[in-house]
A and B are shown apart, each in its own frame.
Chain A
Amino acid sequence: MSHELDLPPSLQAEVETARRHVSLSPELEARVMAAVRRRAASPQQRAWRWLTAPSLPPWALLAAAATALLAFVLLRPASVGSPGVASPLATAVGPESIYVRFILVAPNAREVALAGTFNGWDPTAAPLARADAAGTWTVTVALPVGQHQYAFVVDGRRWVPDPAAPAVDDGFGRKNSVVSVSAAQGRIL
């Protein structure tokens, strides 16, 4: 059924007129389409417009940025901090690191430090303290779970591997000591 049957005759004529197919001349159609193509953006331009056109209020962007910052702060790996408790060997700090005590007997040393992959080989980051008159030097550091290479730095210039730990060639003609930290058991190799 069609509603056109209900239209008054004057409107029926208008409808018939509007329905008639209008043909454009080929020249006019070509000019129109050329203009449309000129105005159409390239894919890159369309992508840029799509990305840059605002569709969220500024506060929403600020909220998103704040959320991202908060997530970064909360989810980043825990950094190695200074130990609060010393342990004879190793103590679980948390699921990601444990405290490990390093010992070197060096009676004639004036100063001893611990440098390794866990502190960027910085010879000033972990100085050992002299524990007794016999020349026992110790330091306790929190190490992330995993495997680390290290050496003692005696008097700021002499690199000494840990006699109590496995050692591997350091690639420079010396030896590095190796410590592996297992969080599941709070143990070291």
Chain B
Amino acid sequence: MNRPAAWLVLAMALGPELAAQDDVTARLAGRVPPAIAAAVSALADSARARGLPVAPLVDKALEGVVKGVPADRILPAVRTVLDQLDAAATALRGTGGTPPSDDAVEAGGFALAAGLTPGDLGAIAQSADRSHPTAVALQVAGALAAIGVPRAQTVGLVQASIQSGGPVGDLVSLPGQVQAAMARGAPPAAAAAGLERAAAAHQAPRPHGQGKGKGNPHRP
């Protein structure tokens, strides 16, 4: 390798790290009081060092400021988001296989905020496959929990939908279907139970080895 090329390699290696720090600083500059910006930047550094996405932290700080929340309540909320991301990443890493994507970690954090547990996240991640990525499955699970479907039924419904072998659109449509049933007067649990029975009835036999719990090599 020639010498200027070495400079370029060095710049490319450090570039994303520096760019990420600049991005956090740039997003907060002028919109967030300096003291909060500094604290959020420090939390973002901590998140980055742990392999967690930082955008949700910045979003939460901006949200607090825009909504007129007192400064002393913004940082605790940002820390809560960081804790949720950390818990989600830990739960997803515990399932083995490839490291979880940022999208999956964010979706996991959202699902935890919506009421699921780290164990629920692990169970859903184990069921996910290439056609039904972990991030999408967790987004759906979080949405179901957010509209009032009990935890156990949320996990069961998502798993049944994945195991039915249907297209990912069927999985994505679940919260809308539950909401439609709720609009007709069904409680969330009853609506979810009906959908789970329907999904279970259409379960396709899975080839041996498919599914993360069985060592699926196509884990997203």
A to B contact number (C-beta, < 8 Å): 111
Nearest CB in chain A to that of B6: its residue = A51
Q: Are B103 and A185 within 8 A (Cβ)?
A: no
- Residue total for B at the interface (Cβ-Cβ under 8 A): 46
Of residues 187 to 204 in B, which have CB atoms within 8 Å of A's CB atoms?
none
Q: Provide the bound-state CA to CA distance between A152 and B77, in Å.
A: 20
Q: Given contacts A115-B66, A168-B114, is CB(A178)–CB(B146) below 8 Å? A: yes
Tell me the bound Cα distance from A159 to B69 in angstroms: 12
Q: Are A120 and B169 in contact (CB under 8 A)?
A: no
B215 within 8 A of A: no
Query: Across the interface, which residues of B come within 8 angstroms of A167, CB to CB?
Result: 146
Assess whether B140 is in contact with A123, with CB atoms less than 8 Å apart. Answer: no
Distance in Å: Cβ of A116 to nearest Cβ of chain B: 9
Asked whether any CB of chain A lies closer than 8 Å to the CB of B20, the reply is no
Chain B interface main SS type: helix
* Residue total for A at the interface (Cβ-Cβ under 8 A): 39
Instruction: Report Cα–Cα, A146/B7, bound state, in Å.
Output: 36
Partner of A121, one of B55, B63, B103: B63
Closest to B175 in A: A189
Chain B residues proximal to chain A, CB less than 8 Å? 2-8, 27, 31, 55-56, 59-60, 62-64, 66-67, 69, 73, 76-77, 80-81, 103, 106-107, 110, 113-114, 135-136, 139-140, 142-143, 146-147, 167-169, 172-173, 175-176, 179
